[in-house]
Amino acid sequence: MKRVWIACVLALVLPTAAYPDGPEKEQERVPAGSSYDRGRQAVSGGQWETAVGLFREAAEQNPKDHAAYNMLGYALRKTNHPQEALEAYNRALALKPDYAPALEYRGEAHLMLKNKGAAMADYQALVRLGSPLAQDLKKRIDSAPAN
């Protein structure tokens, strides 16, 4: 009887050990070889145009993936398409309004478009969230030329 009880306990515990953050967090993990994963690899290699295509594909495959839209915006910004980047960041933030990386990056896109006021609004949102990214954006705002 003791062995049956131990087997039952192990059956309950082992599946959660495979997903230490819970099954819902496992869904957020990126499968190796996915469009998102390949996009991250392209970013690491400075292949911005390739990254744009891969993150577009990732967002199409999973339209509720805030991280895919955020990284699409990042790659678009790096290819000097700040207006399109803003649209991608806005999609990311519509899905997850408190996503600090998208707020910071959107602020940087606003600065590329010479809109310090909008960048400052993103900075203030980061401050309200208590994000350390607020200071990074503030440094960029302070060093940006006047509008």
Per residue of the chain (147 residues), give pLDDT as tens.
555 434 333 333 333 333 233 223 323 456 678 999 999 999 999 999 999 999 999 999 999 999 999 999 999 999 999 999 999 999 999 999 999 999 999 999 999 999 999 999 999 999 999 999 999 999 999 999 876
Do 4 and 72 sit in the same domain of this protein?
no
pTM score, two decimals?
0.78
- Neighbouring residues of 118: CB distance < 8 A, sequence distance ≥ 6: 107, 110
How many separate domains does the chain show? 2
HEC assignment per residue over 52-68: HHHHHHHHHHCCCCHHH
Do 88 and 134 sit in the same domain of this protein?
yes
The residue range of the domain holding 15 is 1-30
Do 72 and 137 sit in the same domain of this protein?
yes
- Neighbouring residues of 127: CB distance < 8 A, sequence distance ≥ 6: 134
Q: What is the CATH number of the domain that holds 134?
A: 1.25.40.10
Residue 83 lies in a domain: yes
Do 81 and 16 sit in the same domain of this protein?
no
Do 22 and 82 sit in the same domain of this protein?
no
